[in-house]
Every structure is written in C-alpha cells, then in structure tokens.
Amino acid sequence: MCSLASRASGEDPIGTASAFQVCVAMELPTPWVGLWSEAATASKELLDAFAPAWERGATVRPLALAPDSVYSVPGKRRVLFFKRPAMPFDTFDRSEYLVSETALAPLVDAYLNSPANLQGFRSYEQANSGMRDLLVCTHGNVDACCARFGFPAYREIREECATGASGRVRAWRCSHFGGHRFAPTMITFPDGRYWARLNEGASRSVMSRAGDIEGLVPHYRGWAGLDTPFEQVVEREVWRVEGWRWHDYRVSGRVLDIGGGLGVPDEELKVEDGPEWAEVRLEFERPDGSRGAYEARVEVCGRVTTVGCGRAAEPVLQYRLTRFARFAGAWNARDLRGPEVPSHTPLAPAANATSY
C-alpha cells in the first residue's frame, strides 16, 4: 500500500500542499466513484458551473463532503467556500451556505463566475464565524489507503469534535485532494494547511493548535497559501521557530531567486521547470502590528522512490534548508530589510524531515 511504502522510504511530506485560489467543499452523498464529479448528485449543471473559472485559469479545487448526521439538514446541501485573499494573510476568506439541492449549481456559478448574483443567496448564508473545519480524505475508490487509514482517523477526529471542541470544530469525510500516499491525510480550514500520516496525538495537537511542534513536523505537508514547495519548506521551519502563534500571523511569501535543473539557463528558469534550489523570503505581521521577515535558501537534497496503490513507482523530490535567517524591519525591499537577528531555536534536523 502506498502509505506504508512512503513511510518505509522515509519520505518527508513537506512541499506537497497544493495551492489554490478557491476551495469549494460541498455536501454530496456517497458513493463517490473515481472522481467527486461522479457522485450520483453531481449534476451536469454543477459541473458546468466550474468550467468558466477553469477556462479563465483560476485554480479552483472542488471537494465533496459526506453528509453528517449532526451537521447536515435533510433536503439541503451545505457549501463551504474558502477563498485566498491578497497577501499578506493568515486564513482563507470563508463563506458558508445551506441551500436546496437544486440551488447548489446556481450558487457555485454565482460565487465563481457572477458575484453580483450572490445577492440572491444572502438569506441562505450561515453565520459561522470562528468555525474550523477538518477535512479528512476517506475516498477509497481513488486509493485504498484513504479508506483503510483515512476512515479510522476521521472517526477518531469526529468523536473528539463531538466531545471536546465546544461545537466550533467540525470533522468531515471528504473526497480526494492529492497525496493519498500520506494517508490518513487532512486539510484544515480556514487556515488551509495540509497534514500527513495522522495519528491520535498528531490529530489532537492540530485540533487544539497546541502541543509539541517537533512531534508534528513529520506530519506537516505545507500551507496552501504558498505556491511552491520551496516556500512551504521555509514556512515549516518558521513555524518551528515562532511556535503556534505563527498561525495567527499575516504572511506573504515569494521566491527571490531560483536556479539549476533540466539544463535551463538560470535567467529563464521557472519553478515548474524543476529547479534545484531557491532563495525564499517570508514576510509577516503579528497581531500587534509589528513586522519581520525570514530568508532562506532551499535545495533539493535527493529523491526517494514512492508508489501509488496500483501504480508504478516514481521518484519524488526531498528538500533541505542550507541558509536560514530572521530579519526585523521594513517589507517589500531586500535593501530595506533591517538587521539580521538570531533565530529563537537552533536549526536541527527532525527525524525523517528536512535536514540542514
């Protein structure tokens, strides 16, 4: 099974979080076949609602949610929209609606393609400010590991939500979002972070946003608010340094320079061409308004071989930090960045994680 093979290879999951502009998570009753769109209630009108956004080049991620005996309302469909705001930001903008099945496609079309038409759905919008949603992949028709490992993890998290989360955290079974080899895998919203190889301890820490970060490092896939694996590698290290408070900072990330790989001249190289290194800058603003930044160099340090259930083996990249520094000062210009200050925490490799 691919999850067991990935664990055995020592694969580090960081850098595997798929970035998106909008995630549309909607209740669609199971069974989901090979794709969420093959659910019995996924109408042609619903599929057509996504097409214009995709044709414009927007990165829109649809996800199916299995109806829940507590969260769901008979005859209705709950729809969660998570939209990436302009940088810097800490969480995705969240909108939630409860509509009839026949209104599902028109709502999605309005949100993605005709925002002026959203006015007609205002009475269906749900006031759920402060709600957190944990989406665990249990889509066994895509990959067996998501059923074998994902469903037990979902069940544990769902029970924890029922007993210890004061009604402000919901756990959902969701359709495939990539990375089945990291099953059980989860996305948390509205922060948009991906998690891998969940166990009871890791799940509790993620739910409570507390506990030992070092123990969670091998479970972290990255943040959907950053577009490249290089930025995601740096963001994980900053989380280790800043602690859980980091998740409350407004963050902006960019690749300053990249190079190497595939014989492409450095000046023509783009991230998708497979560079071997990148210089990254993450800028942040704390809730009190103070600002700072981190800069780092990330390098490809090797490849490990992994497999998908029923799929051929393939190599995947692994990364390491070779330079890491924190700065205090102004944003948006390297020559205004202010003095370098020591990191709070010494750089040290975590087991099966990024080495330095």
- Measuring CA to CA, which residue among 257, 356, 258, 339 is closest to residue 293? 339
Question: How many whole angstroms separate alpha carbon 208 and alpha carbon 157?
Answer: 11
* CA gyration radius, the chain: 20
Would you state the pLDDT for residue 343?
40
Beta carbons within 10 angstroms of residue 211's beta carbon: 15
2-204 adopts what CATH topology? Glutaredoxin (3.40.30)
Would you state the pLDDT for residue 309?
66
Distances (CA, A) of 300 to 231, 308, 317: 13, 22, 7
Average pLDDT value for residue range 31-43? 78
What's the pLDDT band for 35 if we cut at 50, 70, 90? confident
Spell out where the chain has E strands.
22-27, 60-65, 76-83, 93-100, 132-137, 169-174, 186-189, 193-195, 220-223, 250-259, 277-285, 291-306, 314-328, 340-341
Average pLDDT value for residue range 203-216? 92
Question: How many whole angstroms separate alpha carbon 160 and alpha carbon 192?
Answer: 20
Would you state the pLDDT for residue 265?
61
Is the confidence at residue 259, as pLDDT, over 60? yes
Burial class (CB in 10 A: 0-12, 13-18, 19+), 34: exposed
Would you state the pLDDT for residue 271?
54
What's the pLDDT band for 266 if we cut at 50, 70, 90? low
Would you state the pLDDT for residue 175?
93
Read off φ and ψ for residue 232, nearest 5 degrees.
Answer: -65, -35
Amino acid at 35: L
Query: Which two structure tokens, joined as six digits, stand for 306?
Result: 């992994």
Question: How many whole angstroms separate alpha carbon 65 and alpha carbon 30?
Answer: 9
Average pLDDT value for residue range 90-100? 97
pTM of the model: 0.88
Is the confidence at residue 334, as pLDDT, over 80? no
Is the confidence at residue 263, as pLDDT, over 60? no
Would you state the pLDDT for residue 256?
94
Average pLDDT value for residue range 126-131? 88
Would you state the pLDDT for residue 190?
97
Would you state the pLDDT for residue 133?
96
Burial class (CB in 10 A: 0-12, 13-18, 19+), 270: exposed
**Helix, strand, or coil (residue 234):** helix
Domains in the chain: boundaries:
2-204, 228-341
Question: How many whole angstroms separate alpha carbon 131 and alpha carbon 188?
Answer: 11
Mind listing the pLDDT tens digit for each residue in 39-80?
767 888 999 999 999 999 999 999 999 999 999 999 999 999
Question: How many whole angstroms separate alpha carbon 52 and alpha carbon 49?
Answer: 7
| Tokens 């972070």, residue located | 193
Q: Pairing relation of β-strands 22-27 and 193-195?
A: unpaired
Is the confidence at residue 355, as pLDDT, over 60? no
Residue, of 166 and 5, whose pLDDT is higher:
5
Average pLDDT value for residue range 219-238? 97
